[in-house]
Structure 1
Amino acid sequence: MTQPVLDVDNLGKSFRTYGSEWSRVLSWFGLPSAALTERWVLRHVGFRIQPGEAVGIVGQNGAGKSTLLKLITGTLRPTTGSVRVRGRIAAILELGMGMNPEFTGRQNVHHVAGLMGFSHSQIDALMPEIEDFAEIGTYFDQPLRVYSSGMQMRVAFSVATAVKPEILIVDEALSVGDAYFQHKSFDRIRAYREAGTTLLIVSHDRSAIQTLCDRAILLERGAQVKDGPPEEVMDYYNALLAEREGQTLEVRRQDNGLVQTISGSFEATVEDVALLNHRGDPVEFVNVGEEVTLRLKVRAHQAIPRLVMGYMIKDRLGQTMFGTNTFHTEQILEDVAEGSSITYSAAFTANLGPGSYSVATALVSSDTHLLNNYEWRDLALLFTVSNQDKPYFIGTAWVPPTIRIER
């Protein structure tokens, strides 16, 4: 059996305050020393990552994500549990971590790469490629203190990924900077991923987690609450964000093996959802570019001051292809009576690429489900798009061009 490259066992971290420095020193040697206060930021976290696997870490701010990465990389010591790493780690954590603001970009590359275990001659050999990838021009030989956050990110990422690591750990730092370098960075991450690098990534970007990762781990208030397929975990996380007093969160495994997440106060619910063709017949298979209608039948179980219906079309990885709601289309229903039945019909052209898609539905009071979430339903409907009569193309969108050629 293949050994995991990363084995995290019952990991926990607490931050303690002591009455004196002597008390703190005694605690280092395991001698009796009562702490004045103790705050646990991570408890009972455990998972294994196999070679070549990509895992996303998700959770709200303060959930313990960055602390977990620091424990894995060794920049923090655990209070309980252990971390076993097999292979060289390249980590991009907090912006500027390990870099000296008085050093130039070039000097910082020497400093950081040296800490990573590279020799002076190896760093000199890598320097032209690092400088070229960072693309900051003459700033490379100026002090880091004059850099923008985006420029710091360019240097940090370039040096950390100059050589393909066994394990690549990326925190939210990649959200800093311009779109061009973000695309360039993710291209390199994908290339390393395809070449067998193990990836551990923290991101609030659902698309990044679902595109890059084989599985995801959800942290909530320092505890590990879910570990599974990215779409399932992200759906659960999305529902958790909207959870309020008086609301419930249900997770159902469907006959097809997919896990459906439903959350809300259920003051209004979707009783039926269907995709109809131009004749009004329910369909599961749709042609590229076909005219279809998404029909939702909604029941109000209590009187509702304002009702907004929204939907999202997602691809097989759970990435959103399109989404809107009746707040943005200015069709909000006011003073909906208890027991009312409402039918929503959204007609659109299925300009989607071949593949399987799902529809998520939302019944809310405004433009977001974070205020009044009456019902959020993932995997409310599944359908398949096939290309029956269009010229061959690839991708998830049908945007046919008119190509002109001049000689």
Structure 2
Amino acid sequence: MSSNELAISVAEVSKRYELYDTPRDRLKQFVVPRIASLMGGAAGPYFREFWALRDISFEVKKGEAVGIIGSNGSGKSTLLQIITGTLTPTVGEVHTKGRIAALLELGSGFNPDFTGRENVMLNGAVLGFSTDEILRRFDAIASFADIGEHIDQPVRTYSSGMLVRLAFAVQVQLSPDILIVDEALAVGDALFQKRCYQQIERLLNDGVTLLFVSHDQETVRTLTNRSVLLNAGRMAAIGTSSEVVLEYRKLLHARESEYYSRIANEMKKPSTLPRPIPMAESSTETVTLHTNGKTAEEAAILEGNDGRVGRLEFGDGGASIVSTEVLDGNNQPSSVFHPGETIRIRINFETSRPLEKLNVGLRIRNKEGIKIYSWGTLNQDMRIMQGHQEGEVFWLRKFGANERVTVELDFPCALGSNLYEVQSTVTYEDTPDYLSQRQLHWVDEAAFFQVLVKRDENFFGGIVDLGMCATF
């Protein structure tokens, strides 16, 4: 790739911190090695190494939106600080092209004793704007921040929400070439978040490069094209956002399974929980899910279907989804539907050991990766238990080993024209409320169907038909 096409280049970056047990050790590390070297000897070290990042390499093209995801402590914020230049790497190089606007730690870049207005002027000057240029943009900044008369009050009197409003307004209104956002939007209210995401979309349409960090998996999936998964300071996966988010969910699931298994062993009590399948040992190898310009489908062909299928499913075992079928109201296989028609999703699964307290469900996403709906047998069970509906409670059923079970989930099609993906799942629910769940088997891309809208009969805008009526 030509260097002119790149906005960010990260090459073999590592960051090391020195951890000292006592202040005395820090002082000894500063003094003793120097004295020892003068005397021709060696001493120390008096610290332990902690590598926050190890061997991180990736490139971001101009105008591209890239997400960075990972658990707390995985190195996300450290990486962003290195890219913005507020930290220097121990090893490796980072190259950026263009003006960087970064929304990192809450309130970073603001002087708490300055007013909001004064901080706007200060931040604009730091970004290279003249006083006249900042003044021309000030009304737009103040309007977007929408903090009223507080703009002339010291920033130390601001709430966290007001701080992030002003910080985001400054960064996006000062025409950055690269916008870096690290979780800060999470403290804003829902309306402000909506405005922020709309503004980010506009910036992307104008060719701004985005580096976005969030724990909101759906936002990362829909807002970014590619993503990087960090785990314990190493790059665990890189590829299309939908596939990297799935790898992240697998990682979280493995950690959760390990946690519950450890708790169960400590308690040493018999449990009805299915015994978790042993997890693979952690690997420092990066999983490349989308590289060299190949689509996910092309990569699957090159590596064989088994490799791709393995990436699309995970779980503790005990139950495995055999197939997911899409049927019409007449129980016939179908892949195309119109609003008002019945869509039936048939999920077939098998048990490998006795099980109980199960939930069989699905999630529907459109081709843009937006989650449209998720539902399962437990949703119906909860209504029955609360007396709002009659019927058998699936959660109370007990299943033997090697039993094959079929569950059909029906709904009237109220979706807009699009291609839809069905994700299937079988979970163990310790309580009938989704509060204590373990994934037995999850399958991405379990099935697909398409919805077409007859424009002269059922035309509507948006992703779902609300069945609206007019009176006059």
* TM-score, structure 2 as length reference: 0.79
Contact 2:28/2:46 (CA < 8 Å) preserved in 1? no
In structure 2, the residue matched to 1:307 is: 358
* SS at 1:329 equivalent: helix
Higher deviation after alignment, 266-275 or 204-213: 204-213
Cα deviation, residue 404, structure 1: 4.5
Match of 1:20 among 20, 26, 42: 26
In structure 2, the residue matched to 1:264 is: 315
In structure 2, the residue matched to 1:182 is: 193
More strand by share: 1
Q: Distance in 1 between matches of 2:435 and 2:106?
A: 32
Q: Distance in 1 between matches of 2:186 and 2:225?
A: 21
Counterpart residue identity of residue 379, structure 1: E
Higher deviation after alignment, 393-402 or 335-344: 393-402
Cα deviation, residue 176, structure 1: 1.1
Higher deviation after alignment, 143-152 or 244-253: 244-253
Counterpart mapping for 1:101-250 below 5 A: 101-243=112-254, 244-245=257-258, 246-247=277-278
Contact 1:13/1:41 (CA < 8 Å) preserved in 2? yes
In structure 2, the residue matched to 1:402 is: 469
Contact 2:26/2:47 (CA < 8 Å) preserved in 1? no
Q: Distance in 1 between matches of 2:470 and 2:12?
A: 59
Counterpart residue identity of residue 168, structure 1: L
Q: Distance in 2 between matches of 1:386 and 1:346?
A: 21
Q: Distance in 2 between matches of 1:251 and 1:155?
A: 38
Matched, 1:344 2:404: no
* SS at 1:332 equivalent: helix
1:196-216 C-alpha deviation (Å, 9 max, x unpaired): 001110112233222221211
Cα deviation, residue 248, structure 1: 5.4
Match of 1:11 among 2, 10, 13: 13
Q: Distance in 2 between matches of 1:396 and 1:217?
A: 29
Q: Distance in 1 between matches of 2:288 and 2:12?
A: 26
Q: Distance in 2 between matches of 1:52 and 1:403?
A: 43
Q: Distance in 2 between matches of 1:221 and 1:35?
A: 24
Counterpart residue identity of residue 349, structure 1: P
In structure 2, the residue matched to 1:375 is: 441
Contact 1:16/1:35 (CA < 8 Å) preserved in 2? no
1:200-234 C-alpha deviation (Å, 9 max, x unpaired): 10112233222221211111111111111111111
Q: State the structure with more CA Rg.
A: 2
Q: Distance in 2 between matches of 1:78 and 1:27?
A: 23
Match of 1:319 among 367, 370, 383: 370
Contact 1:247/1:264 (CA < 8 Å) preserved in 2? no
Cα deviation, residue 315, structure 1: 0.8
1:259-311 C-alpha deviation (Å, 9 max, x unpaired): 55110122101112111111110111112231121111121111123211121
In structure 1, the residue matched to 2:273 is: none
Contact 1:248/1:264 (CA < 8 Å) preserved in 2? no
Q: Distance in 2 between matches of 1:86 and 1:370?
A: 47
Q: Distance in 1 between matches of 2:30 and 2:420?
A: 56
Counterpart residue identity of residue 419, structure 2: S
Cα deviation, residue 158, structure 1: 0.8
With over 3 angstroms needed to count, the CA separation of the structure-2 counterparts of 1:142 and 1:27, relative to structure 1, is: farther
Counterpart residue identity of residue 20, structure 1: R
* SS at 1:362 equivalent: strand
With over 3 angstroms needed to count, the CA separation of the structure-2 counterparts of 1:278 and 1:335, relative to structure 1, is: closer
With over 3 angstroms needed to count, the CA separation of the structure-2 counterparts of 1:123 and 1:35, relative to structure 1, is: farther
In structure 2, the residue matched to 1:354 is: 417
* SS at 1:5 equivalent: strand
Unaligned ranges ≥5, structure 1: none
Contact 1:241/1:370 (CA < 8 Å) preserved in 2? no
Matched, 1:384 2:450: yes
Higher deviation after alignment, 84-93 or 19-28: 19-28
Higher deviation after alignment, 200-209 or 36-45: 200-209
Q: Distance in 2 between matches of 1:175 and 1:129?
A: 23
Cα deviation, residue 395, structure 1: 2.4
**Identity between Structure 1 and Structure 2 (%):** 34
In structure 2, the residue matched to 1:287 is: 338
With over 3 angstroms needed to count, the CA separation of the structure-2 counterparts of 1:342 and 1:361, relative to structure 1, is: same
Contact 2:117/2:152 (CA < 8 Å) preserved in 1? yes
Cα deviation, residue 254, structure 1: 6.4
**How many residues get paired?**
403
Cα deviation, residue 337, structure 1: 1.4
* TM-score, structure 1 as length reference: 0.91
Q: CA RMSD in A?
A: 2.7
Match of 1:86 among 76, 97, 114: 97
Q: Distance in 2 between matches of 1:333 and 1:133?
A: 52
Q: Distance in 2 between matches of 1:251 and 1:127?
A: 44
Q: Distance in 1 between matches of 2:19 and 2:120?
A: 36
Q: Distance in 1 between matches of 2:220 and 2:97?
A: 23
